[in-house]
Amino acid sequence: MIVLGISAFYHDSAAALLRDGKIIAAAQEERFTRKKHDAGFPHHAVEYCLHEAGISADQIDYIAFYDKPLLKFERLLETYLAFAPRGFASFRMAIPIWLREKLFLKDLLCKELKRYATDIDWEGRLRFSEHHLSHAASAFFPSPFEEAAVLTMDGVGEWATTSLAIGRGNKLEVVQEIHFPHSLGLLYSAFTYYTGFKVNSGEYKVMGLAPYGEPKYAQLIFDHLIDLKEDGTFRLDQSYFNYCTGLTMTSRRFHDLFGAPPRKPDEPLEQRHMDLAASIQAVTEEVVLRLTRAIRNETGLKNLCLAGGVALNCVANGKVLRDGKFDGLWIQPAAGDAGGALGAALAIHHIHLSQDRVVDGRDQMQGSYLGPAFASDEIERRLTASGAKFAVLDDDALFETSAAALAQGKALGWFQDRMEFGPRALGGRSILGDARSPAMQSMLNLKVKYRESFRPFAPSVLKEDVADWFEIEGDSPYMLLVADVVQRRRRSMTADEQALFGIKKLNVPRSEIPAVTHVDYSARIQTVHADTNPRYHALITSFKRQTGCPVIVNTSFNVRGEPIVCTPEDAFRCFMGTEIETLAVGNCFLRKEDQDPALKLNYENAFDLD
């Protein structure tokens, strides 16, 4: 049984393919088109999935789409009717797109699918899953749990913005929902917009900015914006927002409440913006904690799965883990809309077709390494055609040479095996650095990533060593949990350093691994496992052997505004367009000084702000 899942036409289009319930392949369209958050039909991702599975399109039994557009259209109409005549400008812009494309989505999908085979009744194979059910299915069915509560939180699907589902075996049912316009995801996005970042991509910047501030506005948010109940349910006062009917997220009343208009993207960050970030982060954590505590009390279930865009808030996830209400916590690594493609396919396979599910104590995401890989001879051919100069090393020499480059303070592009599915680079398409270096965080931000200096980096740590460095129990393979550096690894700060405020905190080393220790001593941890990524594990093991430290910096292999690299050519271009000094693509090792200077690029302003 072959099921192809698709998410498209909003943002982060993707495709995922199952064979008899096993995840064979999954990838976002942006990785192939090089267009960040590409919303178009995922032709390249579909073609990759078919190639990875070794099948032709006529062997697909079902196509699963990740939401139901008619229900979304119903919400659009009801929202505009409820607020009429306010918001006519927004309505006038949205309706032509809906009438031309989204209202007739079935016809559009069948038209796109005919590119693969014209003689197939695609409509007969096409199925639609509700948005939050797709999210919930993406979290529960690959999880290691026989039964679990599933909490989905995002901006909005058709109507639902927050939902609770109960999963048992191959059954999954959504049992409670909070509906639009009351949305925790949209509340967070409103502050993303207000602090000058891009909605649907800049929310993680707000989370990273929060530790530089104090939650001075949290009570103001509770008093005016959100009516939060003890069980975590909530309502938003819509007079402070503009997303229902306008072309912006916040209203003038919102701006008056917080004392200024929204920050423009090119304006400097001030302390108040950091305090606003800290405040909405604190409010979000309180909402999530109340929701999860109520779920534990009301369902009695011992395991919790998380999905939806809010589930990428790894600080809040860490709070849920440390709250200790659940024995098991599992978060879908592709928690956003891209993961909806996988969830839709899983929902069709297990719920619609009643197929059994494998539960063996491990999750079924295979480390989320579900994208394309390239054979050694193909890598060499592609790099040669790009003009690259490289040495081909055996495995042991590659790991030792790469680890030595890291120990020397060099940035290393690391391109190995299959590409990751989801927004995190997990050692397949990563830029790496020495976590012990006080200068590494700033250097990677300013000279490699070309992005804001305040943004933190994640540590990759050998699974067997994690407890020696971080206050966390269990695993964090998908970089979705934040925990503090253990006390004995921290550095005592002087009185003057402790008195610093805001961004001035940035360059004060706080631990033995300052490049990955945020200003509040926290870190977004990735535990590295020999069974899911043996090459990455071997690299860090070699670095530990050379330095005594099993922790390195891991950030995605791209610059600001660029999708994560997919092919060897993408990796070489990024290498030549930044100040990355070394690059390992498969067993090919490249040094910047060996390359033809004529191939050097300037990536600093090559992509739009993210």
**Residues annotated as part of the active site:** 11
Helix, strand, coil percent values for the chain (each to nearest 5)? 40, 20, 40
| CA angle centred on 236, ends 232 and 242, rounded to 5° | 145
Q: How far apart are CA 444 and CA 453, in angstroms?
A: 9
- What is the edge-to-edge ordering of all strands in the sheet holding 62-65? 22-28, 14-19, 2-7, 62-65, 126-128
Place of tokens 């690959």: 142
Q: How far apart are CA 411 and CA 434, in angstroms?
A: 8
Which of 563, 561, 572 shows the shortest CA–CA distance to 610?
A: 561
The strand pairing partners of 3, in sequence order, are: 18, 62
- The one-character DSSP state at 58 is G
**Diameter of the chain by CA atoms?**
74
Half-sphere exposure (Cβ direction) of 342: Cα atoms closer than 13 Å:
33
Q: What is the 3-state secondary structure (H, E, C) of 145-193?
A: CCEEEEEEECCCCCCEEEEEEEEECCEEEEEEEEECCCCHHHHHHHHHH
Q: How far apart are CA 399 and CA 395, in angstroms?
A: 6
The strand pairing partners of 556, in sequence order, are: 430
Q: How far apart are CA 27 and CA 363, in angstroms?
A: 18
| Cβ burial, residue 409 (10 Å; 0-12/13-18/19+) | middle
Q: How far apart are CA 125 and CA 133, in angstroms?
A: 19
Which of 587, 575, 569 shows the shortest CA–CA distance to 402?
A: 587
**CA 399 from centre of chain:** 28
Q: How far apart are CA 138 and CA 332, in angstroms?
A: 7
CB of 132 within 8 A of CB of 287? no
For the beta carbon of residue 492, count every other beta carbon within 10 angstroms: 7
